[in-house]
Amino acid sequence: MKRHHVSFADWTKAEYSVILRCLLRASFSQGNYPAILSDRLAHYYAPSSIYLCNYGHHAIRIALTIFRRRQPARSKVIVPAYICPSVIQAVESCGLTAISVDIDDDLNLCPTAVQCALDHDTLAVIAPHMYGAPAKISDIEKLCNTAGIFLIDDAAQVVSVRSEGRLLGTFGDAGIISFAQSKTIVTGIRGSGGVLLINNPEYDVEAKQAWQMLPPSTNRLEALCDFLWNYVWSARTGNSGYYLSRLCNELGWRSQTTSACTQISNLEAGIGLAQFERIEMITQEKIRIAHAYHVALQQYPLIQFPQYAAERFLTRVMLRLPEQVDIPRLRTTLKTAGIETRTGYKAYLSPGTIATNAENLSQRLLEVPCRRGMSEAEIGDICSVVSHQITSQTKP
């Protein structure tokens, strides 16, 4: 039976060559790669300034700290109700309050909901492009400019994607990119890399000072091994990483990985550079796969693909299933059939928030395999199996 696994990274021999060079030179933490990657990104995203750190959400923290210094009386940050939990954690770590608002069917911030939530206590809006689907970022930027609110263009999951001719990440006062698993550029997990883009030069001096104070990254070999064994090679290693982790805990071997904010490591900057060199191929392959799913799903009207649009890059293929489907049961059945799946984020509802669309969508989304080299026939088979299992659940 052929197995279809969820992909966490699109790696080739180029990434492994970087790892080998860093290993031979004992240069996992420090080296030339961060400066080279920074220069490449600065040229690509010009005139925005580029600061490389170890987490995308740490870039958010730096930006929010600068903004609050300018507007100390404001304490609210508007976020979508469908959002990665690390964004909420970044907001709260700055002593600020995350205010969730509803989303549109493409899983992105609804500009009308943003406008309704703005008040005199609002410091900033964080606008992600969920799974690569561009948010209505131009509309949100106009709202923020009119209201005098800071905007963070959260391009964590998109590199090289444009909206209205502008690269995502360059709207608003600041932007961010993440290099964690399942993004466009993937260098690893847990502190593997992030980018702060300063789009408004008024804040560049403060951002540079904050970045220069960050310590160098350390202990990256352990995180790399974890990523390779439990994510990149998971089709072959299975659950062995889980049992190895339990054994290490029993023996008292604790992880040295830290969540502290640091600069990016030489290793992960090198991997990011290797991926950036072939960013066009990475995005085009994802576009091809998304289109193949769209075509295959025309036969199965019960399954929706809410984020699809012609020529749209998506980091993941998230399907919307009928309300009566028992998704945990479906995932178990699909796993038995050799199809690995993931669910989406849980809806985040701040006190008093009503976000009907986010609540409904978050409970109905299922991620299906989307990896380099998948054929149209494989994608058709996956859609057929998913549809068959849904039909068997929904029969009266």
Could you list the residue range(s) of the whole structural domain that residue 305 is in? 279-394
311: helix, strand or coil: coil
Please indicate, yes or no, whether residues 51 and 157 belong to a single structural domain of this protein: yes
Number of domains in the chain: 2
Mean pLDDT of 140-164: 96
Is the pTM above the cut of 0.75? yes
pLDDT tens per residue across span 101-129: 999 999 999 999 999 999 999 999 999 99
Q: Report the CATH number that the domain containing residue 305 is assigned in CATH.
A: 3.90.1150.10
62-89 confidence digits (pLDDT tens): 999 999 999 999 999 999 999 999 999 9
Query: Distance between CA 271 and CA 191 in Å, rounded?
Result: 14
Asked if 309 and 181 sit in the same domain, the reply is no
Within a domain: 247: no
Q: How far is CA 206 from CA 125, 202, 210, 320, in A?
A: 20, 9, 6, 43
SS3 content of the chain, % helix, strand, coil (to 5): 45, 15, 40
Asked if pLDDT for residue 362 goes beyond 80, the answer is: yes
Asked if 237 and 228 touch (Cβ cutoff 8 Å), the reply is: no
Query: What pLDDT does residue 145 have?
Result: 97
Contact 153, 126 (CB under 8 A): no
Average of pLDDT values for 293-304? 97
Q: Both 197 and 307 in a single domain?
A: no
What is the per-residue pLDDT for 244?
61
Enumerate the β-bridge partners of residue 150: 124
| pLDDT mean across residues, the chain | 93
Structure tokens that stand for 82 in this block:
């469908």
Of 161, 193, 212, the one marking the end of a domain is: 212
Residue that finishes a domain, picked among 195, 212, 229:
212
The contacts of residue 179 (CB under 8 Å, 6+ apart) are 56, 185, 186, 187, 188, 192, 193, 194, 195, 268, 271, 272
| Residues 202 and 77 grouped into a single domain | yes
Q: Are residues 164 and 297 in the same domain?
A: no
Question: How much is the pLDDT for 260?
Answer: 85
Write the pLDDT tens digit of every residue in 15-56. Answer: 999 999 999 999 999 999 999 999 999 999 999 999 999 999
Q: Residues 303-359: pLDDT tens digits?
A: 999 999 999 999 999 999 999 999 999 999 999 999 999 999 999 999 999 999 999
